[in-house]
Homo-oligomer: A and B are copies of this chain.
Amino acid sequence: MNQKQFKHTTQICVRNYEVDWQGIVHNAHYLQYFEVGRIEYLKALGARLDLNTINGESRVVLVRNEIDYKAPAHFDDVINISTRVSFIKNTSFAMEGIMEKDRTKELVATNIAFHVWLDPREHASVPVPDEFRRMVQRFEGADCEIFWPTYKV
């Protein structure tokens, strides 16, 4: 996985209060950076910013995060965060992120974040809306394994 496989990249600069006593970015902040990446990605898609209520009737819930730490980022490092939707299934989808140092292209961390679409009144998962599938397909082209439920065929 490298940044060339991604169509969306945004940039952050490590702030001093994100650096811990080892002089490196604390592990929880990488999750925040990846989320910055996801939100900028969703804005680039044309999605309304509040992912939480993208169709007014359901909610998107983050159910699992996997982060691999490859090399530490330091204070004042400029970091490129690339983001994509890697798949959409019936009621869930995953977003991948990858962070590289801007200057050296060193890989800093990778992330995959699994989301489920929920009906909050029923506390049950619901199909990912077609509107969201189309937005992603338009942006990602053939690179995203988008699953269209069989009733769509």
Contacts and interface: CB of A to CB of B under 8 A. Distances in A.
A61 B35 CA distance: 23
A19 interface: yes
Given A65-B66, A69-B61, A76-B49, A16 B27 contact: no
A82 to B, nearest CB: 18
Contacts of A31: 27-28, 31
A68 B1 CA distance: 23
Interface in A8-27: 15-17, 19-23, 26-27
Contacts of A15: 32, 35-36, 39
Given A28-B29, A49-B76, A64-B68, 16 more contacts: A15-B39, A16-B20, A17-B20, A17-B28, A17-B32, A19-B21, A21-B21, A21-B75, A27-B35, A28-B32, A39-B76, A62-B69, A63-B68, A64-B67, A65-B67, A65-B69
